Amino acid sequence: MNELLIYSALSLGGVAAGFAVVLYVISQRFKVEEDPRIDEVTQMLPGINCGACGFAGCSGLAEALVEAADSGDVSGLSCPPGGSETMKQIGEYFGFEMGSTHKTIAVLRCGGSCSNAPAKTQYQGPSSCAIAHSLYVGINGCPHSCLWLGDCEIACPFDAIVMNPDTGLPEVIPELCTSCGACVRACPRDLFEIRPRGKGKAERRVWINCRNTQPGGVARKNCKVACIGCGKCVRVCNDIVQAISMENNLAYIDPHKCIACGKCVPVCPTNAIMATFEPPKPKQANKETADTQA
Partner 1 sequence: MVTVKTFPMGGVHPPENKLTADSPIQALDLPDEVSILLGQHIGAPAEPVVQKGDKVKVGTLIGEGKAFISANVHSTVSGTVKRVDEALDAAGFRKPAVVIAVEGDEWEVHIDRSPDLVTEITATPEEIVDRIKTAGIVGMGGAAFPTNVKYMVPEGKQVDTLVINGVECEPYLTADHRLMLEHTDEILVGIEVLRKALRVDRAVIGIELNKPDAIEAMTQSAARFPNIEVYGLKVQYPQGAEKQLIKAILDREVPGGKLPLDVGCVVNNVGTALAAYHDIQKNRPLIDRVVTVTGTSLPNRGNFLIRVGTPFARAIEAAGGMADDVAKVIAGGPMMGKAVPDLNVPVTKGTSGILLLTKAEAEQRETVPCIRCSKCVEVCPVGLEPYLLEKLARVEYWEQSDEHDVLDCIECGSCTYICPSNRPLLDYIKLSKVKVHEMRRASAS
Cβ-based neighbours of 252, under 8 Å, separated by 6 or more: 208, 244, 245, 246
Residues in contact with partner 1, total (CB under 8 A)?
18
Min. distance of Cβ 135 from partner 1 in angstroms?
7
From CA 17, how far away is CA 229, in angstroms rounded? 79
Min. distance of Cβ 138 from partner 1 in angstroms?
7
* From 14, 18, 54, 125, residue interacting with partner 1 (rule: CB under 8 A): 125
* From 68, 162, 218, 261, residue interacting with partner 1 (rule: CB under 8 A): 218
- Residue 111 interacts with partner 1 (CB under 8 A)? no
From CA 224, how far away is CA 175, in angstroms rounded? 30
- Residue 214 interacts with partner 1 (CB under 8 A)? yes
From CA 19, how far away is CA 23, in angstroms rounded? 6
**Whose Cβ is closer to partner 1: residue 68's or residue 130's?**
130
Q: What are φ and ψ of residue 286, in 5° steps?
A: -100, 5
- Residue 114 interacts with partner 1 (CB under 8 A)? no
Read off the amino acid at residue 277.
F
**Whose Cβ is closer to partner 1: residue 93's or residue 123's?**
123
- Residue 154 interacts with partner 1 (CB under 8 A)? no
* From 122, 200, 217, 291, residue interacting with partner 1 (rule: CB under 8 A): 122
* From 48, 130, 162, 261, residue interacting with partner 1 (rule: CB under 8 A): 130
* From 2, 124, 284, 292, residue interacting with partner 1 (rule: CB under 8 A): 124
**Whose Cβ is closer to partner 1: residue 28's or residue 124's?**
124
- Residue 242 interacts with partner 1 (CB under 8 A)? no
**Whose Cβ is closer to partner 1: residue 11's or residue 121's?**
121
Q: Is the dihedral of CA 290, 247, 169, 183 positive or negative?
A: negative
- Residue 143 interacts with partner 1 (CB under 8 A)? yes
Binding site for partner 1 (CB under 8 A): 120-122, 124-126, 128, 130-131, 134-138, 141, 143, 214, 218
